[in-house]
Structure 1
Amino acid sequence: MVFSSLEFLFRFLPLFLIVYYLTPQKYRNVTLFAGSIIFYTIGEAMYSILLLASVLVNYILGRCMYRGEEEKGRKQTILLTLALCFDFGMLFFFKYSAFVAENINVIIGKLTGNAGALPVVEQALPLGISFYTFQIAAYVIDVYRKNIKAEDSLICLGTYLTMFPQLIAGPIINYTEVSHCLKKRHVTTIDFENGLKTLTIGLAAKVIVADRIGTLWNSIQMIGFESISTPLAWMGAFAYSIQLYFDFSGYSMMAIGLGKMLGFQIPVNFDHPYISKSITEFWRRWHITLGRWFREYVYIPLGGNRKGKPRMIFNLIVVWLLTAIWHGAGWNFVLWGVVLVSFMMLEKLFLLRYLEKSKVLSHIYLILLVPVTWVIFAITDMGQLGTYLGRMFPFFTKSGVTINRLDYLKYFKDYWYLFGIGILFSSPYPSVLYRVFQKKRMETLAVAVLFWISIYYLAISANNPFLYFNF
């Protein structure tokens, strides 16, 4: 089940909210925990046991790690290792084992001339496993560090991990951000209204913008990358960039809105990344909670930037290779991480001081570079990726394929207004306009119009899951 579906909006959510608000305050965690498991089971019944196992194992090991110990010692280290081995072991098995086995078999074949013997078992990826694994791993690490007290209640910890607003695709919430709300929370009428408005705006971002402009990227894939012109290749790259942003930021806004309606403050995950002036700044503004996770649990423990530039560069490489692999098991993701960290290192070494001198130059640099990185991110077949990049940069390749050099005119005629909407709403200006509407008490009408337009598109189109469900 996805948020952007009639089933969720008109069946699950109203029914759950009625039960939730009728439940006495002290039992609402039970209702939210049970409702979240039902939500997950509807979409992913076969892996709901894995999610519950993650709650139970980390609860037990967290309690054992914390109980009666004032200092970190060997016992705590062993317990932390067990917890992380379970968490990341499950993630590795489902997400990476087939990829690793395939590549080991290829290496063995090249070295020996015989086919590798490792079994390659393709596993369906459990929904949300990358997100909830990182979230529960942060919890046990913080317990180990004595930053937080281990949660006494299994229900509270289960509610924290499985909370359906952010279970499938984040944002990744630190336990400290919601621990007080797990014990006691109140939802006022204003909270509910603001949450509903945020939910609706996120729905509109997904359904009106992301899904509509995403059809251009789908059309290009159906045509075949060999047959598109260079302008259309760039249009496709920009379209996918807009689609991915409004798809993922739309989901995050829906999660934040649902959280407000339930009494939780879920952290912001995006801060207008496309107005950035460098790749480094872009990734401070994009998927903020994931960047925070890697900073707190990988980059800083490795030494951060405190041990000189060579060590800082090494730490950046480690973080970005892990970030790339987190997104998917494929060589295109590795290449994507290498490209990003290469530009980040160039920026830190010398490029940033030149970009800061010119706002125009820095924005052109970002707007041209980011879509290229998203193409690498999106196309998992390395041969097809090479073809697409060859279309984007034809002066680096030689191709004898006859293409329609004016194909982009047809698609520009159909999609120009969506590019305009995407560019406008990637900037902070609509937020300023929304605040003006709030002062004049017109925002409710605007949100209502967005809601019914979104419902119309949902009713006439096929279901389009959020893109980050794949990760």
Structure 2
Amino acid sequence: MYSWFWSAQIVEQGAESACLFNSNGCPILSVVFSSTTFLFLFLPLVISSYYLAGATRWRNLVLLGASLFFYAWGEGVYLGLMLLSIGFNYWGGLALGGTLPGPRRRLLLAGTVGFNLLLLGGFKYANFAVDSLNQLLSLVALAPPGLQPSQLSVIHLPAIQLQPIHLPIGISFFTFQAISYLVDVSRGQARAQRSLLDCGLYIALFPQLIAGPIVRYHDIARQLRHRSHTSIRFAGGALLFLTGLAKKMLLANPMAGVADQVFGLPTTELTPLLAWSGSFAYTLQIYFDFSGYSDMAIGLGRLFGFELLINFNYPYTARSFREFWQRWHISLSRWFRDYLYIPLGGNRRGPGRTGLNLLLVFLLCGLWHGASVNFIIWGLLHGCFLVTERGRLGRLIAGWWRPCQHLYLLAGVLLSWVFFRGNDLSHSLGFLQAMAGFGSGVPWLHPLGLFWNKATILAALVGIVAATPLAGKVHQGVLRSHGESRNGRALLCLAQACWGFFLLTGCAMELAAGTHNPFIYFRF
């Protein structure tokens, strides 16, 4: 049983506040999981309607309608993009599931996958591509032919103008899900979905629609038509949802307050200790933010009878970057492994090709997270760590004392998160310079006490413990000791109910106080 206690777009960072409203001025925050509208209006109405609907087909219709409404409330007219994705991939799946000869099937798969990538690229990377091209053009000059050197005049190429393109929330997630559906059908690992309703539900299911986890079609195909509903599953889903909500509201948000303040300072004013504390706060923030959302998505899925795979398994307890990516954002790393790394040849073509494949995969992993140089560097850093760990460095690390292995991983993660969080490349490099002790900040200008108080220190200490499987092991031990008798099970159920009520009360108090930060991964 997954631990009931603590389970395991892109523009610059300033766009986080821009994600509060869509292009039509509709408040996106009103339908995110950590909002009063979602918790006390949308979710109760959907659950009531779902269980009143009766048959699975009608329940699927309720869920699809709720999912489309959920997305439309946050994205307005961009619901049309979602409907286009559903319709196109439904047709593509039927075509790939037919009796096509091999070459035509491969051509059709390339075309349908290419269309999905074109949509993703157009919305997510067009502005980045134009900006990069303009920077290149600024370095290029043309000289008219036939002129003597003394008569030379240089013509600079004009910059390409492109208005900022809105990035629909969650487009990276539902596009990757659609691609996995097409590839699974083409490989014969799943049958083409004959029901447009069920295909639409797979792509648009609201619990994991806008921030994952990435659900693979063959993992959920049977559940679209046949799933069981029990009180135990419902209660477990509700408790897991509350656990994820508490991760976000009670741990990620306090850490976000510290990280935002530290990363908002000029890097020339940072001391090494302050810079390291800011990176540490962001390390906890992004973990509890994203793993909290994943827990909420998995818990919501259980409320409606779906079993979604876990997305985090205590990644900060890893002892290498290879192990880290087996525990962090598991659905994404498995997606890249099965749909890119292995088709490229994986590790079957020698060390050189393996290293190249890893670097390419993590370059694209960085780009998937965001269209900026910072994310490219972040991805390549992780790729370089993985490549070197396959050689002499990996054998060296394997012989270290285990705490030193953990310190190696944590130090590398803390440093790489600076590129993930930094406003731009120069800001990230300045932040790393401060962490290395080459900054010019003085302790009395920005003392730690301005950023860390009793509440944030307590949240950090709880977060450190919660980022390990300690609580889960305690829970499993209690189950083994007292879960056999009827009275023991009753007491455990009562304890879990009380714990859930405690979490809900704490989160409600935070909501009432108006403390909220958007989920980081909404921007992807």
1:286 maps onto 2:339 in alignment: no
Shift of 1:78: 2.8
1:377 maps onto 2:420 in alignment: yes
Shift of 1:145: 1.6
The answer to whether the 8 Å contact 1:62/1:143 transfers is yes
The answer to whether the 8 Å contact 2:269/2:440 transfers is no
- The one-character-per-residue Cα deviations of 1:239-290 (angstroms, maximum 9, x if unpaired) are 0000000000000000000000101001100000000001111111000000
- The one-character-per-residue Cα deviations of 1:107-163 (angstroms, maximum 9, x if unpaired) are 111011624442222111101000000010011111122221111011010011100
SS in structure 1 of the partner of residue 468 of structure 2:
coil
Q: 1:420 aligns with which of 461, 469, 483?
A: 461
SS in structure 2 of the partner of residue 186 of structure 1:
coil
The answer to whether the 8 Å contact 1:173/1:266 transfers is yes
Distance in 2 (alpha carbons) for counterparts of 1:275 and 1:66: 42
Shift of 1:461: 2.2
Distance in 2 (alpha carbons) for counterparts of 1:97 and 1:184: 41
Moved more, 303-312 or 212-221: 212-221
- The one-character-per-residue Cα deviations of 1:396-426 (angstroms, maximum 9, x if unpaired) are x4x5565637712443444321221111000
Q: 1:206 aligns with which of 248, 253, 264?
A: 248
Distance in 1 (alpha carbons) for counterparts of 2:158 and 2:295: 46
The answer to whether the 8 Å contact 2:249/2:516 transfers is no
Q: 1:429 aligns with which of 462, 470, 473?
A: 470
SS in structure 1 of the partner of residue 366 of structure 2:
helix
Structure-to-structure mapping, 1:216-235, within 5 angstroms: 216-235=258-277
The answer to whether the 8 Å contact 2:271/2:440 transfers is no
1:349 maps onto 2:391 in alignment: yes
1:457 maps onto 2:457 in alignment: no
1:368 maps onto 2:411 in alignment: yes
- The one-character-per-residue Cα deviations of 1:17-72 (angstroms, maximum 9, x if unpaired) are 11111002131111111110011111111211101100100111221222233x52
Can you give the 5+ residue segments of structure 2 that lack an aligned partner in the other structure? 1-30, 142-154, 484-490
Moved more, 376-385 or 238-247: 376-385
| Runs of at least 4 residues off by over 6 Å | none
Could you tell me which amino acid in structure 2 is paired with residue 386 of structure 1? L
1:460–1:200: structure 2 CA closer, same or farther, 3 Å change rule?
A: same
1:400–1:29: structure 2 CA closer, same or farther, 3 Å change rule?
A: closer
Residue 408 of structure 1 corresponds to 448
Distance in 2 (alpha carbons) for counterparts of 1:180 and 1:66: 17
The answer to whether the 8 Å contact 2:363/2:376 transfers is yes
The answer to whether the 8 Å contact 1:216/1:236 transfers is yes
Structure-to-structure mapping, 1:174-253, within 5 angstroms: 174-253=216-295
Shift of 1:181: 1.2
Could you tell me which amino acid in structure 1 is paired with residue 126 of structure 2? S
Distance in 2 (alpha carbons) for counterparts of 1:206 and 1:401: 32
Distance in 2 (alpha carbons) for counterparts of 1:240 and 1:402: 22
Moved more, 126-135 or 341-350: 341-350
1:34 maps onto 2:75 in alignment: no
Could you tell me which amino acid in structure 1 is paired with residue 470 of structure 2? Y
> Which TM-score applies when normalising by structure 2?
0.86
The answer to whether the 8 Å contact 1:234/1:392 transfers is yes
Can you give the 5+ residue segments of structure 1 that lack an aligned partner in the other structure? none
Residue 388 of structure 1 corresponds to 431
1:90 maps onto 2:133 in alignment: no
Q: 1:100 aligns with which of 115, 125, 129?
A: 129
The answer to whether the 8 Å contact 2:184/2:218 transfers is no
Residue 3 of structure 1 corresponds to 33
The answer to whether the 8 Å contact 2:375/2:420 transfers is yes
Residue 295 of structure 1 corresponds to 337
Shift of 1:433: 2.9
Structure-to-structure mapping, 1:31-110, within 5 angstroms: 31-69=62-100, 71-74=101-104, 76-110=105-139
Distance in 1 (alpha carbons) for counterparts of 2:366 and 2:264: 27
Distance in 2 (alpha carbons) for counterparts of 1:244 and 1:164: 21
1:111 maps onto 2:111 in alignment: no
Distance in 2 (alpha carbons) for counterparts of 1:304 and 1:400: 45
Residue 486 of structure 2 corresponds to none
1:426–1:61: structure 2 CA closer, same or farther, 3 Å change rule?
A: same
Q: Greater CA radius of gyration, 1 or 2?
A: 2
1:250–1:260: structure 2 CA closer, same or farther, 3 Å change rule?
A: same
Distance in 2 (alpha carbons) for counterparts of 1:413 and 1:102: 41
Shift of 1:354: 2.2
Could you tell me which amino acid in structure 1 is paired with residue 447 of structure 2? D
SS in structure 1 of the partner of residue 390 of structure 2:
helix
Q: 1:260 aligns with which of 299, 302, 313?
A: 302
Could you tell me which amino acid in structure 1 is paired with residue 132 of structure 2? N
- The one-character-per-residue Cα deviations of 1:412-465 (angstroms, maximum 9, x if unpaired) are 444321221111000001112334566441122112101110111111024322
Distance in 1 (alpha carbons) for counterparts of 2:426 and 2:119: 30
Moved more, 87-96 or 219-228: 219-228
Distance in 1 (alpha carbons) for counterparts of 2:49 and 2:238: 17
Could you tell me which amino acid in structure 2 is paired with residue 428 of structure 1? P
Residue 468 of structure 1 corresponds to 521
> Which TM-score applies when normalising by structure 1?
0.95
Distance in 1 (alpha carbons) for counterparts of 2:136 and 2:416: 28
Residue 188 of structure 2 corresponds to 146
Aligned residues: 466
Distance in 1 (alpha carbons) for counterparts of 2:103 and 2:443: 66
Could you tell me which amino acid in structure 2 is paired with residue 360 of structure 1? P
Shift of 1:381: 1.2
Residue 315 of structure 1 corresponds to 357
1:341–1:116: structure 2 CA closer, same or farther, 3 Å change rule?
A: farther
Moved more, 402-411 or 94-103: 402-411
The answer to whether the 8 Å contact 1:271/1:285 transfers is yes
Q: 1:21 aligns with which of 51, 57, 60?
A: 51
Distance in 2 (alpha carbons) for counterparts of 1:226 and 1:421: 31
Could you tell me which amino acid in structure 1 is paired with residue 53 of structure 2? T
